[in-house]
């Protein structure tokens, strides 16, 4: 009998430890009907204080689900307060016309209507454009050498001429201009180069000097601008999770060249695949503590944790992240650490 009791205690201990990591909101609802525009992060945040613990919240692990195409508008998310997890259910009416929630597995064939982990609209442009370029990535790329009727600036519908284009890479190309160099603030290593996306072009005729038609522009295109093969859009659905190792990154760039960022802004980190950073990793944001003086002594106050980042695209040495939650403006050189 004693062995049975000890065995039961050993089985329950992981459950108690698990519950401690998941803090339910005091005003959390019993259920939520999924609507178009919801995200897994937002749904989790309705019930729990730590939405980045997404796999635990849904009672899953990274080996159980690789791609969360399984929740759809019309599904009902039910909070199981006893286990501290969420489940998908369906609304069923009983004979007395009372609404009853029945947990069940819900599968649909199409991934297009599935609820994404985070807002797809915020990150889509960064999934289809190679905005971080390796050294010499643009200098060796095909180049625009001339324009029709010698136009100085090109816009949609204009004709341009380029050298270095290959039929093997297809008709569709993206136009870039070299941007700033990304340096590691800790050791001054060159991590890559930002490429400024200008627009899209389509080849009308391949030759030593090929003819292009400018299909779309976001900024004015000119001679000397570079061409990169159009990339197919990457998947934008990831399982939010805490890194398995300690990551200590810094904010080295904020999209659009501003010095501060707010919620749903895109920032660049000085860590990437080589450092163990992966798509879906969630990092906590820290601002360096202020320096003050007390009775003639200089004191550095503790760093302030003020927000969360969601990593959605990783390169070898750098990564893009979406600011999911912030109580302060994100500033250059702020730290992003494993929560």
- What is the residue-wise DSSP string for 273-313? GGGT--TTBEEEEEEPPPEEEETTEEEEPPPEEEEEEEEEE
**Residues 166 and 258 reside in one and the same domain:** no
Q: 229, 261, 296 — which closes off a domain?
A: 229
Residue 7 lies in a domain: no
Q: 52, 81, 116 — which closes off a domain?
A: 116
**Residues 109 and 141 reside in one and the same domain:** no
| pLDDT digit string, tens, across residues 287-316 | 988 888 887 788 888 889 999 999 998 999
Give the CB-side neighbour count of residue 24, counting CA atoms within 13 A: 18
Structural contact between residues 235 and 229, judged by C-beta atoms closer than 8 angstroms: no
**Residues 135 and 112 reside in one and the same domain:** no
Give the pLDDT of residue 288: 86
Residue 177 lies in a domain: yes
Range of the domain at 144: 129-229
Residue 201 lies in a domain: yes
Q: 176, 196, 229 — which closes off a domain?
A: 229
Tell me the CATH number at 271.
2.40.10.410
**Residues 201 and 268 reside in one and the same domain:** no
Residue 286 lies in a domain: yes
Q: How many CB atoms lie within 10 A of CB 29?
A: 11
Residue 97 lies in a domain: yes
Structural contact between residues 219 and 152, judged by C-beta atoms closer than 8 angstroms: no
Residue 9 lies in a domain: no
Structural contact between residues 253 and 132, judged by C-beta atoms closer than 8 angstroms: no
Give the CB-side neighbour count of residue 261, counting CA atoms within 13 A: 30
> How many structural domains are present in the chain?
3
What is the rounded distance in angstroms from the CA atom of residue 254 to the CA atom of residue 321? 10
Residue 271 lies in a domain: yes
* Pairing status of strand 304-314 against strand 226-229: unpaired
Q: What is the chain's alpha carbon radius of gyration, rounded to the nearest angstrom?
A: 25
Burial class (CB in 10 A: 0-12, 13-18, 19+), 54: buried
**Residues 199 and 270 reside in one and the same domain:** no
Give the pLDDT of residue 105: 44
Q: Which residues of the chain have pLDDT under 70?
A: 1-21, 60-70, 90-112, 128, 130, 231-237
Give the pLDDT of residue 270: 96
């Amino acid at each position: 009998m004693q062995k049975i009791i000890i065995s039961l205690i050993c089985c329950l201990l992981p459950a108690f430890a698990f519950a401690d990591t998941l803090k339910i909101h005091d005003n959390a609802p019993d259920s939520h009907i999924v609507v178009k525009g919801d995200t897994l992060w937002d749904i989790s945040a309705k019930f729990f204080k730590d939405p980045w613990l997404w796999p635990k919240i849904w009672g899953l692990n990274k080996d159980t689900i690789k791609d969360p195409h399984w929740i759809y508008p019309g599904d009902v998310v039910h909070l199981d307060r006893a286990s501290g997890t969420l489940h998908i259910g369906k609304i069923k009416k009983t004979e007395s016309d009372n609404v009853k929630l029945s947990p069940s597995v819900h599968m649909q064939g199409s991934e297009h209507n599935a609820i994404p982990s985070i807002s797809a609209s915020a990150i889509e442009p960064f999934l289809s454009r190679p905005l971080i370029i390796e050294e010499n990535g643009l200098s060796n790329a095909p180049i625009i050498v001339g324009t029709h009727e010698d136009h100085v600036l090109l816009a949609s519908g204009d004709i341009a001429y380029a050298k270095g284009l290959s039929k093997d890479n297809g008709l569709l190309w993206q136009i870039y201009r070299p941007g700033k160099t990304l340096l590691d603030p800790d050791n001054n290593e060159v991590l890559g180069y930002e490429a400024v996306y200008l627009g899209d072009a389509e080849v009308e005729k391949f030759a030593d000097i090929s003819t292009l038609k400018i299909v779309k522009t976001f900024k004015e295109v000119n001679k000397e601008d570079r061409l990169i093969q159009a990339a197919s859009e990457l998947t934008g659905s990831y399982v939010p999770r805490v890194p398995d190792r300690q990551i200590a990154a810094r904010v080295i760039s904020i999209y659009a060249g501003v010095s501060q960022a707010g919620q749903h802004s895109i920032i660049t980190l000085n860590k990437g695949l080589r450092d163990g950073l992966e798509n879906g990793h969630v990092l906590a944001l820290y601002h360096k503590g202020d320096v003050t003086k007390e009775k003639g002594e200089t004191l550095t106050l503790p760093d302030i944790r003020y927000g969360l980042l969601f990593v959605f695209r990783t390169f070898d040495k750098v990564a893009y992240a979406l600011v999911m939650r912030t109580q302060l403006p994100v500033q250059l050189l702020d730290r992003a650490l494993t929560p």
